[in-house]
Homo-oligomer: A and B are copies of this chain.
Amino acid sequence: MNLIPNQEAEATRLRRRTVTQLKAELRGARVQLSVLNHVVGTHAELKDVDLDCLDLISSQGPLSPSMLAKRAGLHPATVTGILDRLERGRWIARDRDPSDRRAVLVRILPERNAEMFRLYSGMNSRMDAICEGYDQAQLEVIADFLRRVQAAGSDASEDLTAG
């Protein structure tokens, strides 16, 4: 930090460029992963949004259809249709909530896990290869970064839905 003003300005410029670049790469990664999602979904006879919901149920479930609708930014009636498809395909099950007889709890069925895993296996092994290039500390930095991105995305979505 003992730089003359010129060097300091240069460092600031470089940093700004790097941050901009990183955000661009994140957008790019999001699109490519969504494209992969779409291709996987096509093979599994699932819509993109079905897979998104399946991911949400998998990571945040079991949860109710109304909570899922909120988390996914979808209309409740749309979620009913999505859950119908996922249930018909034996991806999920709907149970009654024991504490509220109006409510429903959606949970993942492990039945077709292997099939889904197989569809993602190409990406999975590529990810393993990528990770081999990083040491333990770097992997943790990246994982933590991605965790923060999730929170940011969730918060930004909420703000936009509210406003």
Interface residues of A (CB under 8 A from B): 11, 14-15, 18-19, 21-40, 42-43, 48-49, 52, 55-56, 59, 71-74, 119-120, 122-124, 126-128, 130-131, 134, 136, 138-143, 145-150, 152-157, 159-161
Contacts and interface: CB of A to CB of B under 8 A. Distances in A.
Contact of A32 (B18, B22, B38, B150): B150
Nearest to A152: B126
Nearest to A155: B126
Contacts of A159: 122
Question: Copies of this chain, how many?
Answer: 2
A134 B145 contact: yes
Contacts of A59: 24, 27-28, 31
A124 B23 contact: yes
A138 B56 CA distance: 29
A120 to B, nearest CB: 8
Contacts of A48: 48-49
20 contacts: A11-B136, A22-B146, A23-B124, A24-B59, A27-B55, A30-B30, A31-B59, A34-B34, A35-B153, A35-B154, A36-B153, A36-B160, A38-B49, A38-B72, A39-B160, A43-B160, A122-B156, A123-B152, A126-B155, A127-B149
What's the dominant secondary structure at chain A's contact region? helix
A80 B27 CA distance: 24
Contacts of A34: 30, 34, 37, 52
A18 B18 CA distance: 26
A35 B71 contact: yes
A101 to B, nearest CB: 30
